[in-house]
Structure formats: C-alpha cells, structure tokens
Structure 1
C-alpha cells in the first residue's frame, strides 16, 4: 500500500499505472472517500494512469489531529475545530505535493471537487507539477465569491458518524431529489461506501474548516495551466455563480455547465462530465 509522509502524517494513495500518459489525480470533497470518483476513474482508465489519494483524515490516511480534539464531545469539538484546530487548504496542497513526490510524478492532471477543487487551485499556485486542472463544484473563496448557503454549510458540519439514516440526511444537498428517488439501490450503495471510506466527524470538521476559510480570489492570475470548470446549475452547496467566476478569472479556462446538475454532478451526470473531461484532457496531451 503506497503511502507518503508529511509532518509525521501518513497519506495513503491508490495508483493504477499506465505508462502511456501523464497521470490523472483525483481529489475528494469534504469528508468524502475515493468512491466519489469511481465513474471518472473508470472513464479515463484505458488512456491514463490514475492516482487517487485519501485526503488527510479520510479513508486510510491519518488525521493528524491532537488526540484530545478527537475525544471531545461534538458540541465542544465542532466549534474548536472549525475556528482553531482545522486543516488548511495550503496544508492539504502540501500533502498532495508529498504524494506526487513519493510517486515520482513530475506532470499530472488534477481533478478536484469542492474541497478537492480548492486543493487543486492552491497546488497550481504553490507548486509546479500540475499540467491541467479540472475544477468541479468549487469556488475560489473569499469576499468576491458567492456565499455558501445555509443548507450547504449544514452539510459541511453536520454530524453523521456511521448511522445510515443520518448519512442519508446529510447527503440530501449533494444530489437532486429526482436522482435520489430514481436510484434507490445506488443511494443504498453510496451510504455503505460512505460508512467504509469517508472521514470521521472530527476529520470532516477539520476539512470543513479548510473549505470555509479558503480564499485565493486575488491569486487566480497565478494559475497558468489549462483549466476545465465543471459546475451543476442546481448546485445547493456551492452556487453555480462560483463556477462562472472561476472561468472568468482563470486565463486559460473552459466552462462546462451541467444543466440541472447538483453538487455531485460528476455522479448524477457522469456521462456528460466524463465526455467533457476526456475531451479536455485529449486537447491538452
């Protein structure tokens, strides 16, 4: 099992090798495990090497939180983590650099959703291995961004644990009601994947702190790699105007709007997103 180390924290990653192309690296949203990218990983697998790290605190990666923080009851822990003891996007980008260094990769295509899209932006600003970015349902943050609605913030910080019904409730903003109602068996599987792979509550809160504090709105001119921005028009976590802002502010960018798409449009509308991603990557190879 490949692992990278940074500041004493072990970061796990999966690698599907393919020597014919630069790798595609998939970066998850707040608290979410590698399951979120299964449709895109399958789509690119024939043509591209794939790397899928577990974000700090998710899946098989260490959380790196002080033991006392993890032992606190939620009512005490949540405000402490969100305001003082959470992660930073810059730190998560440094974790990614450690993974790419460990894997011996010099040029990669970064694909990130939500928090993962923030990490991709920060990485392209701070480090040099990104060949392209694909940013799904994300924002540059800060005062110029369209604020995260109350429902979206509740999704980020609401406790779920491994209770199936609480997981279902917390997932509601991620998908359209129509998709949820039409795919009950898939939703059952997603609940089980989340129980197995997602971050626990303390680590998810630490990731949410990074998400909510992120702001590179005045540094987007430092992103000098081709960028695909994918955003669902009905995203209830990160309003679609944020995708439009990213496409306007990043010099070499392409905007793919998913009509009626949710925050997890790459799951609900996987065919459209996969086609856009493969076309974008092919144009940049």
Structure 2
C-alpha cells in the first residue's frame, strides 16, 4: 500500500497488475477494502491496472474533523479525477460501490475527460437523505434490527468484527467475510480514536457531507460505457435504485446478481470482473 497526494490531501492507495495496463480506479466506501482482493486480482489477470483507494477521513488517507468535514461531495469527485490523472495519462475506468458510487457518478459528470468507462455497484442516483418518489427507500424491516443494536467497543477489534459480522447477517451478506474484512479495516485505521474506527467501518463521515446540488437530472448527459451492478436482495439500496440508474444513463448495462445483497459474493466475482473488463 502507498500514499498518493492529490488536491492538497493524501489518499491511501493499493495497486494490482501492471502499471502500463489500462487503469481501473476503484473508490473506497469509505476504505479501499470495500473492493474484494479477489475482484481486484481477477481484473489484473484480465490485463487491467487496478488502483483502489481510501476516501478522505478513512484508512490511510488524510483525516480531519470527522464530525464536521471541511469538504464536499464535489471535492471527493475531484479527488477521483486527480487520482486517475496521477496514475495514467489516459482516461481511466472509474468504479464506485455504495456511497462511492455516488462520488463516481458526480466525477464522471464533472470531469468527463478524465474517465473512459464507469462501473456502479449497489448505489443510487441521489445523495443520502429523503428519496425521490420513484426510488425505493431502505427496507424498514431490515433497518430496524440493523440500527437498533448496541454499539460495540470501537477500540476492540474482536468486538468490532463481531458487530460488523452481525450486521452483514442482517443485510444478507456473508458474516464470515464481513468479520475478516472488518478486522483488516480496524488494523488500518489511524490511531486509537473510537470515532475513527466507527467512521472507517460505517462510513459515518459521508452522511455529514454537503452533497448539493443534485446530479440525477444530469445522468442522461453521460456518454461513456457504463455497467450498473446490483444485488437483487439488497435491502439498503433496493434493486429499483440500480434499475433507475441504468435507465437514465444512455446505453448502460444492468447486471443483476440474483443471490446478492450489499456485497458482491465470491461466487459472482468472475462474472462481475468479466463485465467490468468488457467495458
């Protein structure tokens, strides 16, 4: 792992594949470990240079006031464009998952010359907050048990790993995989501040960002090949969100993972990697 300086901040990055191969930039959500090692390796094996990164205030990246970030969604979009240019003179394939899928949409709209293709996994076309009338909101039967749990001891890796595994089980993801990833994220978090561990695990800072103005109404302007991947069983951003994105971006392909929820299951990684590499 390494550090890349862009836009006055330092971002944690990790690389797979040959540096002279076409670049796929995978934005963390919020840390780079939201992108499975196996997916990154398979993309590299298919001739891609994969760079995954931590967002600001996550992982190895620059950190500030987690309760009042002094940057906006547009700044994170500019970070993505800056990283793409730092690693390759050619336009990059940009990929975002969950919250970073929102960043990726804005980055592709605001910096069209920086990107050649777009992959959006398990995301939606609006910022955190109230949803549009035609978009399905979080499944409340799932959100109740998910958000009513007692908080873990954020300074104890075992407590955090158990908490994240339990959350994955509620969401319909693999708890064993979630436990392992949570322990890796915990080990990469800077310092011992409980708030930093919570932010890295749950993406708390993103919900406090200024995400204005809206970008959904601009999606029809995108002119780059786009892959939209969504789990059919996703209760957090239900499938209808991905369907809307795929309808509103001209020519976008929608890949529905029938047995998936939030995370890309190990069994689906070959199909997702092949679809991404085909863009």
Q: Aligning the two structures, in what range does the TM-score lie when normalised by the shorter sequence?
A: 0.7 to 0.9
Is 1:209 paired with 2:193? Answer: no
1:275 paired residue among 245, 255, 271: 271
Is 1:192 paired with 2:192? Answer: no
Cα 1:19–1:193 change in 2 (3 A) is closer
Cα distance in 1 for residues equivalent to 2:160 and 2:210: 22
Cα 1:188–1:37 change in 2 (3 A) is closer
Structure 1 position 24, deviation (Å): 1.2
Cα 1:106–1:273 change in 2 (3 A) is same
Structure 1 position 52, deviation (Å): 1.3
Q: Gaps (5+ residues) in structure 1?
A: 71-76
Judging by fraction of residues, say which structure has more helix: 1
| Structure-1 residue corresponding to 2:86 | 102
Does the 8 A contact of 2:38 with 2:269 survive in 1?
no
Structure 1 position 51, deviation (Å): 0.9
Cα 1:93–1:245 change in 2 (3 A) is same
Is 1:54 paired with 2:54? Answer: yes
Question: Secondary structure at the residue paired with 2:96?
Answer: strand
Does the 8 A contact of 1:152 with 1:238 survive in 2?
no
Deviation string, structure 1 residues 83-138 (Cα, Å, up to 9, x no partner): xx465321111111222232244221112110111111111101122111111100
Larger RCO: 1 or 2 (CA < 8 Å, sep 6+):
1
Q: Gaps (5+ residues) in structure 2?
A: 190-195
Deviation string, structure 1 residues 176-197 (Cα, Å, up to 9, x no partner): 67654xx64x444223112123
Structure 1 position 146, deviation (Å): 2.8
Cα 1:126–1:212 change in 2 (3 A) is closer
Q: How many residues align structurally?
A: 257
Cα 1:170–1:35 change in 2 (3 A) is closer
Does the 8 A contact of 2:171 with 2:234 survive in 1?
no
Cα 1:98–1:205 change in 2 (3 A) is same
Cα 1:95–1:260 change in 2 (3 A) is same
Question: Secondary structure at the residue paired with 2:11?
Answer: strand
Cα 1:174–1:136 change in 2 (3 A) is farther
1:123 paired residue among 101, 104, 107: 107
1:88 paired residue among 39, 54, 72: 72
**Superposition CA RMSD, Å:** 3.0
Cα 1:261–1:215 change in 2 (3 A) is farther
Structure 1 residues 16-31: aligned runs within 5 Å: 16-18=16-18, 21-29=21-29, 31=30
Q: Which stretch of the first structure deviates more once superposed, 204-213 or 19-28?
A: 204-213
Structure 1 position 274, deviation (Å): 3.1
Cα 1:178–1:137 change in 2 (3 A) is closer
| Structure-1 residue corresponding to 2:193 | none
Cα distance in 2 for residues equivalent to 1:259 and 1:202: 30
Structure 1 position 218, deviation (Å): 0.8
| Structure-2 residue corresponding to 1:133 | 118
| Structure-2 residue corresponding to 1:112 | 96
